[in-house]
Amino acid sequence: TGSTQPQRMLEAVQKNATKGDPESVFSAIDYYGRHKEWAMNVGDEKGLILDSVLTEVNPSIALELGTYCGYSTVRIARLLSPGSKLITVEFNPAFAAVARQIIAYAGVQDKVTLVEGPSGDLIPKMKERFGIKSFDFVFLDHWKDRYVPDTKLLEDCGLLRKGTVLLADNVICPGAPEYLKYVRNSPRYESRYFKSNLEYSKVEDGLEKSVFLG
């Protein structure tokens, strides 16, 4: 009965997932996205790459740009060590409202701070608002034309340190060609492409992992 896709996804979670079990929550969303209604979650295939990069980095403080319904928020938060934090930025209040409920249903709300507003406005306020020195890990999955400006903003605000890992979704589909040019041509990044498929589809997509060299 939910009128928007996020509301229908929340219903699918409440119906099919186990409260407090993050894995069952994102699996319920994957089932919905694959069998009911395509949805722009990073998904189960690219999700495995996200999991492995995250486990390797083991960030104390992580940033996600583009919460949507909270699928990757839950996927990331479940792997964070005790005391580690994920800040996720969402522009659309309706999406944020659903994401808060999905994050709470998964039981990871204590590890997650969801901030509402445009990344361009919020990034410069991160240090003062959250007492952050720099991020260990950044997941980019918001508007694709914001990847470059927000990466530059993170650099200019001193929010990246030697070794910070940026992981960008959709660099092939829908595509972030400017971003690929930027991180692959810059001497300040060591970049690598992880080939995969667009969520719930056979179309190629992939994640670009870029390590900031300082």
Ligand X SMILES: O=C(NC/C=C/[C@H]1O[C@@H](Sc2ccncc2)[C@H](O)[C@@H]1O)c1cc([N+](=O)[O-])cc(O)c1O
Site for Mg ion, rule CB under 5 A:
141, 169-170
C-alpha distances (whole Å) from 177 to each of 63, 183, 186 are 22, 10, 14
Tell me which amino acid residue 196 is.
S
Q: Is 25 helix (H, G, I), strand (E, B) or coil?
A: helix
Burial bucket for residue 32 (CB in 10 Å: 0-12, 13-18, 19+): buried
* Position among 10, 13, 54, 65 found at the interface with ligand X (CB under 6 A): 65
To the nearest whole angstrom, how small is the minimum distance from the Cβ of residue 94 to ligand X? 9
SS3 144: helix
Choice among 30, 44, 90, 141 that is catalytic = 141
Site string for ligand X, 162-201 (x = CB under 6 A): -------xx--xx-----------------------xx--
Separation of alpha carbons 89 and 137, rounded Å: 14
C-beta closer to ligand X: residue 22 or 206: 206
Query: With binding defined as CB under 6 A, does residue 92 bind ligand X?
Result: yes
Our answer to whether residue 199 is catalytic in this structure is yes
Q: Which does 139 bind (CB under 5 to 8 A by kind): Mg ion, ligand X, none?
A: none
Which positions are annotated as active-site residues?
141, 144, 169-170, 199
